Structure 1
Amino acid sequence: MTTAKSSWQIWIDRGGTFTDLVAKTPDGSLVTHKLLSENPERYTDAAVQGVRDLMGLSPGQSIPPGSIQNVKMGTTVATNALLERKGDRTVLAITQGFGDALRIGYQNRPFLFARHIVLPEMLYETVVEIPERVGAHGDIVVALDESVARRKLQAAFDDGIRSVAIAFAHGYRYHAHEERVAEIAEDIGFSQISVSHRVSPLMKLVSRGDTAVVDAYLSPLLRRYVDQVADDLNAEGNSAGPRLMFMQSNGGLTDARMFQGKDAILSGPAGGVVGMARTAVMAGFDKVIGFDMGGTSTDVSHFDGEYERRFETVVAGVRLRA
């Protein structure tokens, strides 16, 4: 069994432009390293290459099993994919009659006197309205038409879409229709199925639907990245491999296998806030303003002695909820 005294511990901040690493060596000393996040002529992934550099390994050389105890990582992979709209093609399945609900949103006017309103681009490519409706108290207003659901989802699948977000009215409380359509989507072959009552089990169709769409849009890209890193670090299913954990938007760590798109949007920035706050407290300051400027995005934060949490937010024009 790998022990902390005989192995490396590594912390990584994978940004859009640079990747920074801090590591504790087996002898207890701290070392740092910095490299470009994108340099395809030299390496496929900056985080893994940074680990190799710190350990004195050549590019492409396998990381020795048992040499690393754990890797804890914050990343802006999902953040930048959202900013640059580089997620996977997604279809939204929603209650019939509500096809424009997410587009309409809440009709907020952040700039009250603006004459030219520019609406954010929707993340889903297409929407399919499913005949179904459950009332607020669980009564079946319209029975689920499974044949229509299958036909419409099959058409989206045949068009090359592999991610689906499912959000039905009152689905946060009454799950049966969402669950059944998820089963149909799985049977058709969708590789990413984000169901609103699992992703954000709270009332309000718009914010719940938006969060499900974000999850469907980003999770495949994030999963490919996480799997690649885990494979290169020998972390996936290997008892001698390191424990790989990722920073979530809520400031906490989660196992790589549990890391989802909707929890990754502020992974990097959240790590910066936590690091800033802890460092400031150690230095005797309890009121701090943080300025985290990267090559792709800049984040500003403040800390007033305790962490403040927001359960609904807007990132790159996209509404999100915890």
Structure 2
Amino acid sequence: MLNVLSGFAVVVVIIALGYAVGRRGLLGPNAVYPLNMFVFYLATPALLINFLRDADLATVFGENLAMVVVSTLLAGAVGFLGYRYLARRRVSDSLVTMLACSYCNGSNLGIPVTTHVLDDPTASLPVIIFQVALYGPVTVLLLDVTSRRTPHGTGRTLGPLVRELFLGIVRNPLILAAVTGIVLSLVHSRTGRELPDLATEPLSLLAAGAVPAALVAFGLSMADVTVLDRDTSPRRSVWLASLMKTVGHPLLAYATARLLFDASGAVLLAVVVVAALPTAQNVFTYAQRFGVNTVLARDSAVVSTMLSIPSIAVITVLLG
């Protein structure tokens, strides 16, 4: 447990350092974007390839993926039904709330957290694959169907959107890295062949930069955020969605893992920690694209991020 807590403390320290640098403007006004792009397109894919090529694929994509799918859908259903029938909001608004309650920041924050806290960067890979390949695209299609009528009453065709979503999946560097790592793992297990040093050394160097760069970028992004505006933000809904994401979702993940899959130990800890990750910024991207519930999506991502730090800390103490 001490190793888990010390790993989590490292994460908090680097985030705080990024925040302090951001407040002082030491890296300039636009440092977050290029730093995040380095992490997204180079460092994190290298980290995944490096780890997956020697990983046990049955462990990564077995029951872990099933537990992620079940707990995510349960958390999303609670968010959708609550916002739709208790708050009496539109279906499109409720779909965004569903994502705010269940769509994890599995890449930008998830991989650094699981790497340092759990010593396993692939712990968040099942949720990344599920969200990017299925959960996100299906929800975007539903958002398009429920909000696609123009002021003149005509609808947009779904063909271009489906094509765009498909291309987004096959071009996603994390998905490409996962596929590459899986192929290398299969080749190694069946033939014993490994990558030459000329390939593994650059991968290792890039992979080493993924965690610190991602955490510093995250701290930088928190430095200039203004949320929960009294006049524009649905503050009660934001708090409820954020609590659902960082408390309700982990509880559902724990119940799913224990009752349906009899999980325990490191597997149980990984599933619950991943479920406690905050709302992904993709949710705001989807909401902004359709002009639906954008303030709730933005504020939930920020508030759930702040709540996720103590939430994950408590989970590591109780389950670590």
Larger radius of gyration: 1
Greater strand percent: which structure?
1
Greater helix percent: which structure?
2
TM-score higher than 0.5 here? no
The TM-score range, normalised by the shorter chain, is under 0.3
TM-score by length of 2: 0.22
